Amino acid sequence: MIGIRDSRTAVPVCSHHAVQFYESDAFLQEIVRKFLADGFAAGESAVVIATAARRDAFAERLRAEGLNVAAMPVTFLDARETLATFMVAGLPDAALFASNVGGIIERRGGRGPVRVYGEMVGLLWQGGEIEAAIRLEELWNDLAEQQTFLLLCTYSMRNFYREEDGPLLERICRAHNVAVPAESFSLIVDKADREREIILLQQRATSLEGEIAQRKELERALRDALAGQRRAEKDLKDFFEHATLALHRVGPDGTILWANQAELELLGYEADDYIGRNITEFHADAPVIGDILDRLSSNEQIRDYEARLKARDGSIRYVSINSNVLFEDGKFVHTRCFTRDITDRKRLEEQNAFLLEATTILNGSLDYESRLRALADLVVPRFADWCAVDIANEDGTCRRVAQSQRTSPDLALELSGQLIADSGPIARVLHSGVPVLIANASGGQTASTNSEDEVVLPGGSLMMIPMKVGDRVLGVTTMVMMRSGRRYSDRDLPAAVELAHRAAIAIENARLYGVAQQANRAKDEFLATLSHELRTPLTAILGWAQLLTMGGLDPEAARAALETIESSAQIQATLIDDMLDLSRIVTGKFSLRQGLVDIRTAAEGAVQTLELAAKAKGIRLVLSAGDELMIVGDSTRLQQIIWNLLSNAVKFSKAGDTVSVSVERIDRSARVIVQDSGHGISPDFLPHVFEPFRQADGATTRLHGGLGLGLAIVKYLVELHGGTVVAQSDGPGTGARFTVMLPLAP
């Protein structure tokens, strides 16, 4: 190895592979010129692998020194073209490099050592191919072991301006035998000056490392702060976007600038259909939104301001608005608006007010039909366009007692005809007791109330609500929306059901009042009858007793007097026994003496007891009994059941009639039938025949006596034995049939 140090810009050539760092291009050109000129002076040849601009600059510098470049032993090669001869898949290939580059150096080495300057590594470094550049440096070292040459590489210090470039710079220095610093240091010739410069550089490096560490800490803190800010912004955005309270911003001209998801869901719009449009389009009342915008423009805060908004489905949503405005430099920027849905509360308030008014109407009098007509007028138009009230008859049909409308008469007539048919929807609701709601039926379409029935509603909406008290359905209230544009929904059903329930209570109260009045009349009639029935035999007893006391009666008349007194006393005893039985029944003190009883025996005893009385009226008693029928019961009370029925039949029969008693087995029951062909029972009185104090003829001047308790006692005694009793009659003059069913003993 040789050393060259001829001037301040000389590169020490004490090794085969040196690297020179530079800061300016002029210094680089001078270094390479000196490197080549010194070689030519020593009789050495050269190979220059550089870019075209650099090759021209080097040749120009040599010519400026008076050298004939064309006659010199130097080979100029293009750096990029030379790289292309041995680069494979982004990395230099060792074999191709040795063959191509090594071959060029070998051909130039005939006169001794060859000086080589190369920029190929620099090009790779500038292109970001760091590993390829380091690998090429290693291939130069491998080639130096096979051939003799002096290699000079150069790197601009601008390639190493970052802190993380330090390890790479160290790798480059280690890949060369000699590393020469850039001109700001290498041009210092005086040793003392160089050492002072080294100390200053060390101080700057230490200071720079501290600044770098501080900068890193500041950068880390800044990154954390920015990350926290981004997170806070994200959380804040998420909070407003997905808050349960509806939020939106409106510009000074009323344009909706932004709305969160709750606002969109409140009205059922998509963002594209809502944002960008004017807020006035969504308010149902123009004066209300006009007043809101005027107040906000005056920088007034809006608190709990109630308004009505139009939803996408055409419904109206009631809201409470709280809002103020962001002003910047006195300029209206946008509102901050919070919208709270109060639709359910407002509807509840309206429904409660409506139900209160309806209750006031229903409680106005006991004439429920007139009250129901007033109720239908209240429902229309506040709750319907057409309303009808139908009351159930005892035979299961219904009759219309009220109807109100604001639809056309023809349409109302058509609706009425569809709904009130005997097998129509109202009849079905009457029998099922289940409300029917048809929320929406567009014009000309058919809306089914159930699988068996259809109602045509031209663009209408329908509710049919049973009027129920407990499990009893008293009627049906029908409400129809057709012209108002509204549609019934599940939210309307509870109010309609409550209205129908209150109407049912009014009907039931009127019925109970009538029942109470009738009961009072029955009691009055009973007391009058009781007084009459007790006084009649008592009058006979007192009259004959006085005659007996006075004396003078012949034996025949005295005997008749005693018989009359005895008969009258028996009648009074029977009346008193009936009243005592009823008293025991009412107070719950009635008891049976249980035992096995043949029901045929009870029937025979009852027939024998009444046979003389029947013959006296010319009435024939007939008993028909089969095999033994044993039941568990009280023999005396069982005989009383049949005796009361026979006595009632004889009482209402005339001479020549026949009263029959039949006893037979039906499955696991004994059936006793008492039938007569007498006066019969009217259809109106038939449902009340077993009620106490009830008589078809309650007047004191009636043809037949009695208190009207016998059949009531019969019903109670039969049920006490676990049986049933039924009365049947085709009407006056057709007779009556009483059927008793009693369970047989196990």
Q: According to the model, what pLDDT value does residue 42 have?
A: 85
Q: According to the model, what pLDDT value does residue 459 have?
A: 61
Q: According to the model, what pLDDT value does residue 301 have?
A: 93
Q: How many residues does the chain have?
A: 746
How confident is the model over 273-302, as a mean pLDDT?
93
Distances from the Cα of 673 to the Cα of 155, 289, 503, 701, 708, angstroms: 132, 81, 43, 31, 20
Fold match between 246-341 and 591-743?
no
Q: How many CA atoms lie within 13 A of 344 on its CB side?
A: 6
* Predicted confidence band of residue 132 (pLDDT cuts 50, 70, 90): very high
Q: According to the model, what pLDDT value does residue 441 have?
A: 53
pLDDT of 473 above 60:
yes
How confident is the model over 627-632, as a mean pLDDT?
86
pLDDT of 217 above 80:
yes
- The CA-CA-CA angle for residues 341, 381, 377, to 5°, reads 130
Dihedral angle of Cα 376, 378, 382, 383, to the nearest 10 degrees: -40
Q: According to the model, what pLDDT value does residue 416 have?
A: 60
Q: According to the model, what pLDDT value does residue 421 have?
A: 52
What is the C-alpha separation between 694 and 707, in angstroms, rounded? 9
Least confident of 196-205, 278-287, 643-652: 196-205
Q: What is the pLDDT of residues 589-610, one digit of tens each?
A: 666 788 898 889 888 888 887 8
615 vs 200, residue with greater confidence: 615
Q: What is the pLDDT of residues 637-685, one digit of tens each?
A: 888 888 889 888 888 888 888 899 999 998 889 999 999 988 888 888 8
Q: At 572, is the secondary structure helix, strand, or coil?
A: helix
Contact 681, 696 (CB under 8 A): yes
Q: According to the model, what pLDDT value does residue 522 have?
A: 65
Contact 274, 267 (CB under 8 A): yes
pLDDT of 486 above 50:
yes
pLDDT of 218 above 70:
yes
293 vs 109, residue with greater confidence: 293
What is the C-alpha separation between 114 and 382, in angstroms, rounded? 111
Cα separation of the two ends of the chain = 136
* Predicted confidence band of residue 294 (pLDDT cuts 50, 70, 90): very high
- Provide φ and ψ at 695, rounded to 5°: -135, 145
Measured in whole angstroms, how far is the alpha carbon of residue 613 from the centre of its chain?
77
Least confident of 348-357, 492-501, 595-604: 348-357
| Other residues' Cβ atoms within 10 Å of the Cβ of residue 280 | 14
pLDDT of 157 above 70:
yes
pLDDT of 704 above 50:
no
| Other residues' Cβ atoms within 10 Å of the Cβ of residue 740 | 25
Least confident of 129-133, 178-182, 237-241, 304-308: 237-241
Least confident of 29-33, 302-306, 529-533, 562-566: 529-533
- Provide φ and ψ at 140, rounded to 5°: -60, -40
* Residue whose C-alpha is closest to residue 715's, from 690, 742, 738, 741: 690
Contact 9, 31 (CB under 8 A): yes
What percentage of the chain exceeds 90 in pLDDT?
23
Least confident of 373-382, 410-419, 474-483: 410-419
Q: According to the model, what pLDDT value does residue 255 have?
A: 94
| Other residues' Cβ atoms within 10 Å of the Cβ of residue 518 | 13
447 vs 561, residue with greater confidence: 561
Fold of domain 17-187: Rossmann fold (3.40.50)
State how beta strands 398-405 and 669-676 pair.
Answer: unpaired
Least confident of 273-287, 428-442, 444-458, 587-601: 444-458
- Provide φ and ψ at 328, rounded to 5°: -125, 120
557 vs 356, residue with greater confidence: 356
What homologous superfamily is domain 591-743 in, according to CATH? Histidine kinase-like ATPase, C-terminal domain (3.30.565.10)
Q: What is the pLDDT of residues 10-59, one digit of tens each?
A: 444 434 788 888 888 888 899 999 998 888 888 889 999 999 999 999 88
| Other residues' Cβ atoms within 10 Å of the Cβ of residue 587 | 8
What homologous superfamily is domain 246-341 in, according to CATH? PAS domain (3.30.450.20)
154 vs 3, residue with greater confidence: 154
Contact 721, 697 (CB under 8 A): no
Q: What is the pLDDT of residues 362-399, one digit of tens each?
A: 787 777 788 888 888 888 888 888 888 888 887 777 78
pLDDT of 567 above 80:
no
- Provide φ and ψ at 579, rounded to 5°: -65, -40
729 Cβ contact list (under 8 Å, min separation 6):
680, 681, 682, 686, 735, 736, 737
Contact 325, 297 (CB under 8 A): yes
Q: According to the model, what pLDDT value does residue 571 have?
A: 64
534 vs 538, residue with greater confidence: 538
Point out which residues pair with 289 in neighbouring strands.
none
What is the C-alpha separation between 693 and 21, in angstroms, rounded? 132
Distances from the Cα of 311 to the Cα of 154, 270, 275, angstroms: 76, 12, 14
Q: According to the model, what pLDDT value does residue 139 have?
A: 92
Could you state, in order of their start, the residue ranges of all structural domains in the chain?
A: 17-187, 246-341, 591-743
How confident is the model over 434-438, as a mean pLDDT?
85
pLDDT of 422 above 70:
no
Q: Is the pTM of this model over 0.85?
A: no
544 vs 695, residue with greater confidence: 544
pLDDT of 200 above 80:
no
DSSP 379-445: HHHHT-SEEEEEEE-TTS-EEEEEEEESS-HHHHHHHHHHHSSTTSHHHHHHHH---EEEEEE-TT-
Please state whether the peptide bond connecting residue 381 to the residue before it is cis, i.e. omega within 30 degrees of 0.
yes
Q: According to the model, what pLDDT value does residue 7 have?
A: 41
693 vs 14, residue with greater confidence: 693
Q: According to the model, what pLDDT value does residue 529 have?
A: 59
Q: At 322, is the secondary structure helix, strand, or coil?
A: strand
- Give the tokens for residue 446: 């058919």
